[in-house]
Every structure is written in C-alpha cells, then in structure tokens.
Amino acid sequence: MFGNLKKHCSVVGVLLLAAVSLAQWGCSGGGGGSAKSGTLQVGLTDKQSDAFQQVVVAIREVRLVPGGMENAEDNDARLPVLVSYSTPHVVNILTLRFQQEILGTITIPAGSYSQVRLILEPNPSGQGHDPVNYLTLKTAPTLKVPLTTPSAQQSGLKVLGQFEVKEGIINAILLDFDPNTAIVARGNGAYNLKPAGIRIIQSGSPLTSFGSLSGTVVSTARDWSSATVTVVPQNSVNPIAGSTIFSNLSSHLSGRQSWEGDFSSFVPAGIYRVHVQASGFAPYSSPLKNVINSSDTALGDALLTPLP
C-alpha cells in the first residue's frame, strides 16, 4: 500500500478474504486442544502501472505466519500453508484491475498474524528458456525482462504487517503491491522484486466491488518510522479498513528531505475519512472523500505534525 513515491504511483493489490467458520484445526506434532478457526480465501486485484505492460509471477505456495513466529522456518508445522500448487499458478497481475481472482482456501486458527510469505517458482537457468517471473515495459511490450527474486524461492517474499482472523465474522485481508517500490531497477537493465513494496491491509469485509483511496503520509520534521492508517465511513466511528505503513527518507530537488510513505486502501463505494496515527505525532484526519467503484480517489499528502 505504501512507499516513498508520490500519489501518481501505481498500485497492485492482493485481496485475501477470510470467512470464519466453527471448524477445528490442530497443529501437527503439537499438544492437545483445538482452536476456533476461520476459512481464508485468496484472490488478486490491482491498479495499473504507468511503466509496466505486464508483471507476471509464478506462485508456488502462500504461507501465513502467526504473531510471534516471524523467525520460524518455512517447514514449521505451525505455519499454515494457505495454498500449494502442483503446477505453479502463473498470474499477470496487471490484468486484474479492480477485479478478483480466487487462488485458494484454507481453515486456520482465529488470532493474530504478522506475515505472509509468497513462494515463487524460480526462473529457469541457461540460454533459450523464458522466465516465469518477469515484466514487460510499455515501451517494449514483447520483451520479457526477468524479475530477480533471490529469496522468493527459498524463504519466500516476506510481506510484513499485522492482521486479525476473528471467529464468527467474515475477515478480509489485502496484500497491496506497488510496482514502483516492489520492482527495483538494478541499473543494468535488470529488475529486482522486493517485498518492501507489498503491504498488508485489513478490510472490514470481503469486497465484491470496490474502489480505492490513495495518498502519502509525510513528515518534514523527523522520521515517523511506522504509522497506522484506518479508513472510517461517514457517520461512523468503526474503521472499514486499516494497515501499518513504513516511512522512507526522500530527498527533493530543493534540497529538502522528508519521511514519506504511500498508502492506498480498497473499500466499497461510499464516503470516508482517512485517519493516521504515528508515535510522537498528532493524529491526522483527512477531509471526507467520495469513493466510486472501479476508480481511485486521491487524498494527496497527509502531513504529520510532531507533538511538543
């Protein structure tokens, strides 16, 4: 959802829908007992890129990490495998603007989670083999440029962010993929795919049709490190979406430096405010904004004011 680029950045999101059931789930090799659990459905959605014609990834597996287990090995039985494909699932994410493609379903314990790991199929080595993870540029739409993903085939792309799976209600999680920060040019014509440009957003409910709100959290005084962004409907105090974003130091042509983080949130059509909270800064609330389905509403800069 966020990065250090301004609001014209394109965003690609991955929508995770979690419907809670009363099924039981137990960890293999663990002790006795069971927990209330939820059924997690996975789908993809995106917003278009200005630079890229295609962004294609071959997904082999998606894993979820409960809170407190961020350093667990991938083969730890306590890490739920959301979906595992016998043949990698190849997706051009730029074809899914404001749409969803369901990837899989799993029943997992209700509770707090802090990470999603995306395991990708490795690009083949040697001459004469097309890459399976690649992009094409709008200036050269037929040339497949491999995406270098050094960790994605082993420990996975580790997408960080807190989210909750609650029992008895439908939960929704979004992986928001910003190609302008997740895809990094290496200077030799190659590109790296990094998880820093992918953020986790929690939505109040699954979205069958939706638009988006986007903007940039900015401080010109000092680093805000991380911030919580929530979206609240008009005449309500209950957020419909929320996430944690992280700042990046940005240098401007004027010589001024600022700490910035882009945000976007997918929500149903309606009227909303965006609230931002960061430690050491006064809470920020945006003016009311109208969101239309299949369209992005720009908020501009959310300027943070340091507390005395």
Q: Which comes out higher in pLDDT, residue 307 or 43?
A: 307
Nearest alpha-carbon partner for 240 in 287, 171, 166: 171
Number of domains observed in the structure of the chain: 1
Q: Which domain holds residue 212?
A: 12-303
User: Per the domain annotation, does 2 fall within a domain?
Assistant: no
Report whether pLDDT(2) > 80: no
Query: How much is the pLDDT for 88?
Result: 92
Q: What is the mean pLDDT of residues 111-134?
A: 89
- Mean pLDDT (the chain, rounded): 82
User: Per the domain annotation, does 81 fall within a domain?
Assistant: yes
User: Per the domain annotation, does 308 fall within a domain?
Assistant: no
pTM score? 0.76
User: Per the domain annotation, does 3 fall within a domain?
Assistant: no
- Of the segments 21-30, 67-76, 292-301, which one has the largest average pLDDT value? 292-301
Cα angle value 300/304/305 (rounded, 5°): 140
User: Per the domain annotation, does 192 fall within a domain?
Assistant: yes
Q: What is the mean pLDDT of residues 148-154?
A: 77
17 pLDDT tier (thresholds 50, 70, 90): very low
User: Per the domain annotation, does 77 fall within a domain?
Assistant: yes
User: Per the domain annotation, does 63 fall within a domain?
Assistant: yes
Could you report the per-residue pLDDT of 237-296, keeping only the tens digit for each?
999 988 888 898 988 888 789 999 988 888 899 999 999 999 999 999 999 999 999 999
* Six-digit token string for 292: 């239309």
Report whether pLDDT(14) > 70: no
User: Per the domain annotation, does 212 fall within a domain?
Assistant: yes
Could you report the per-residue pLDDT of 206-229, keeping only the tens digit for each?
777 888 899 999 999 999 999 999
176: CB partners within 8 A, 6+ apart: 1, 2, 11, 12, 13, 14, 198, 199, 200, 201, 243, 264, 266
